[in-house]
Structure 1
Amino acid sequence: MADAKECVDGIKAYDNTGLELVPLSCSQDAVHQNQPPPYMPPPYPMTPYPPPMPPEPGFIMDPPPQYWPKPEEQNPPAETEVTSMPSERIMIVPTAFDDKTTRRAFIRKVFCVVTLQLLVTFSIVCVFTFSQTVQGWVRNNLWVYLSSYIVFAVVSVCLALCSSFSRSHPWNMLGLAVITLSLSYMVGTVASYHNTSAVIIAMGSTLVISFSIVIFSAQTRVDFTLCNGVMLVLAMTLLMFGFFSIFFYSSALQIVYGTLGALLYSLFLAVDCQLVMGREKYGLSPEEYIFAALILYLDIITIFLYLLILFGGSSNN
């Protein structure tokens, strides 16, 4: 170990590595010794730090600390494209429903078709209700009713599931006409078993309710298209309620069943109207005007049948 070493200007102290620690002047030390204790030594003069010594062989030094800039000091990341190749770049193309003219033409076409269907159906219902001859023939030939039901089911499934059939003109119009005639015959057959006053009240109520729901769906900000799951559960509950009401029939139960069914399918009509108008999250394609007219027509006819259960009892139990 190297000890302290005297010099003319002062005393130099060395540590065990041979580095000079602090230069101290001899005259300054003498001045401090003449002062009465205790005394505060003056601060050391500002001298630079000694250069680091090279490490000994076999000694591993830690890497020097690195400065990491703060997040706000970093440059904001540049906007990246969706894909690197220009040929694969995704472009946002407006759909046909983004055009207001196309949407209005679609809505106009759908409601014109539905209006024509309702005119045909309610005309047949009136004939089956007011003509005693037609009522007698319908009641004696129930096989026509069953045949109409089969035709209606087959064509409806094809029109709903086969897009090539529902979008090809004039086959889609022909299929919709077959559905309208077959369902009109079935509804007329059901109406022939009810009182005339009940049929008229149910028909007028259906038109008023349907028109009000269409106006409400066009003006409201509530998105009914997000409630399909809940409404499906309610429909299954109503189906089970109707099944058990067969075994426990009563007038009060009939009124409750008709009221619940009319309310539920009024909600379905509101959902389908918003799908047609395309104002909410989900909407129908402009090419699906036949399918759109079909679902609106079925909703309105179902409301009429439930109102018929509500307002009138069957004349032939």
Structure 2
Amino acid sequence: MSLVECRHFSGDTSIYRFAKAERYNHSRPFLRKVYTILTVQVLLTTITAGIFLYFEAIRAYVHESPSLLLISALGSLGTIIALTIYRHQHPLNLYLLFGFTFLEAITVGIAVTFYDVAVVLQAFILTTAVFLGLTAFTLQSKRDFSKFGAGLFAGLWILIIAGFLRFFFYSETFELAMAAGGALLFCGFIIYDTHLLMHKLSPEEHILAAINLYLDMINLFLHLLRLLEALNKK
């Protein structure tokens, strides 16, 4: 199971169905707000991961302090629960959003210290290219991708269970299959969540939409890291 492999909001969302005119009126401001938040989240995560990756003293400290990962993961979980409850209360929701993003950035920063810089850069470039490509495809597509939600969540549960099993039945082939399957799964979630923010979510749910896409990107990045690392070992 990846470090942030979870769907905090997707199963706890009030779905709003708008008429076409209402969707059109809200679409541009809503999209601008969502992708502005997402851009800030990605920038903060990238900067934090870069600091963890390039400073040897920080890398050494992280490797000598395994409890740091547990603290950041539990803190992230607590923050996301609070954000679920208070996501409509401004400015508290923004403070919680920053806290959650910072803790997730630390988690990602810890993860990248266990990989070569070249592999991390490759995964980052691939993640960015895939996310932009899938986003552009979904925004212009007229297909209804919401019907794939059940299959995606079933795939997520399979991935989580497989993540626990790998601690008992580890093999390089199994690791490669999990990494590839996870990357494909979160490509599907990027399409699914982009479709939701276009057609299903209320304009008040900009934080929800941004976090879903942010988690999709992070999980795609982490699985691509594992995939590239596994391929390099072959």
Q: Take 2:172 and 2:116, find their aligned partners in 1: how far apart are those partners?
A: 15
Instruction: Give the TM-score normalised by structure 1.
Output: 0.64
* Cα deviations by residue, 1:209-242 (Å, 9 ceiling, x for unpaired): 1111101111222211112112111111122222
Out of 40, 52, 59, the residue aligned to residue 116 of structure 1 is 40
- Tell me which residue corresponds to 2:68: 144
The number of residues matched between the two structures is: 213
Instruction: Give the TM-score normalised by structure 2.
Output: 0.86
Written as runs of structure 1 = structure 2, the 5 A alignment for 1:1-317 is 98=22, 100-160=24-84, 162=85, 165-278=86-199, 283-312=200-229
Cα distance, 1:250 vs structure 2: 2.4
Q: Could you say if the C-alpha distance between residues 222 and 104 of structure 1 is closer, same or farther in structure 2, counting changes exceeding 3 Å?
A: same
Cα distance, 1:288 vs structure 2: 0.8
* Secondary structure, counterpart of 1:239 in structure 2: helix
Letter of the 1:226 counterpart = K
Taking only aligned residues, the RMSD between alpha carbons, in angstroms, comes to 1.7
Q: Which has the higher contact order (CA 8 A, sep 6+)?
A: 2
Cα distance, 1:96 vs structure 2: 10
Bigger CA radius of gyration: 1
Unpaired runs of 5+ residues, structure 1, are 1-93
Q: Take 1:99 and 1:231, find their aligned partners in 2: how far apart are those partners?
A: 25
Could you tell me whether the CA contact under 8 Å between 1:97 and 1:103 is conserved in 2? no
Unpaired runs of 5+ residues, structure 2, are 1-17
Q: Take 1:263 and 1:205, find their aligned partners in 2: how far apart are those partners?
A: 13
* Secondary structure, counterpart of 1:248 in structure 2: coil
* Secondary structure, counterpart of 1:168 in structure 2: coil
Could you tell me whether the CA contact under 8 Å between 1:203 and 1:304 is conserved in 2? yes
Q: Take 2:75 and 2:229, find their aligned partners in 1: how far apart are those partners?
A: 28
- Consecutive aligned runs of 4 or more in structure 1 exceeding 4 Å deviation: 94-97
Decide which structure has greater strand share.
1
Q: Take 1:218 and 1:95, find their aligned partners in 2: how far apart are those partners?
A: 18
* Cα deviations by residue, 1:28-85 (Å, 9 ceiling, x for unpaired): xxxxxxxxxxxxxxxxxxxxxxxxxxxxxxxxxxxxxxxxxxxxxxxxxxxxxxxxxx
* Secondary structure, counterpart of 1:312 in structure 2: helix
Q: Could you say if the C-alpha distance between residues 97 and 151 of structure 1 is closer, same or farther in structure 2, counting changes exceeding 3 Å?
A: farther
Decide which structure has greater helix share.
2
